[in-house]
Amino acid sequence: MTTCRRPARRGPCQVLVELDVDLRPWIASGDPSRGEVGPGPITLLVHMPALEERPQIKAISDGVRVVLEGCDGGRTVDDLATALEAEYDLPAAGVRQLVRMLLDERILCT
């Protein structure tokens, strides 16, 4: 069975963080007294793919956020892609490709 015919859902250890400023340069500096913040707003996805791994931080777009919110395990990836294309004009093929990437990164699971 292909991934597109299965439902996808978000991994169990993740949270979306909405910020008025971009903290990525400050986080990357490793020194809270040195780092600077950038302009915002920005949405960060913080997730832990596995308990033995460190949390990962990824900036995401509004489109990625819509796809993540749609991945609730209640419909197949094909159904989600069709619905998002109709509702938000997101190309269905792009949604499928994004879901595959998020599965590879262990942000989503089937």
Q: What is the pTM of this model?
A: 0.82
Spatial strand order in the sheet of 38-47:
14-22, 38-47, 56-60
- Residues 29 and 53: beta-carbon distance below 8 Å: no
Helices of type H across 2-107: 24-29, 62-70, 77-88, 92-104
pLDDT digits (tens, 9 = 90+) for 31-86: 878 878 888 899 999 999 888 889 998 999 999 999 999 999 999 999 999 999 99
**pLDDT of res. 3:** 61
Looking at per-residue pLDDT, the higher value among 30 and 45 belongs to 45
pLDDT of residue 1: 41
pLDDT band at 94 (very low <50, low <70, confident <90, very high): very high
Flag whether pLDDT at 100 surpasses 90: yes
What CA–CA distance (Å, rounded) separates 7 from 77? 6
Q: Give the residue-averaged pLDDT of 11-31.
A: 88
Contact of 5 with 77, CB cutoff 8 Å? yes
User: Mean pLDDT throughout 86-110?
Assistant: 95
Q: Which range, 4-13, 32-41, 44-53, 92-101, is most confident?
A: 92-101
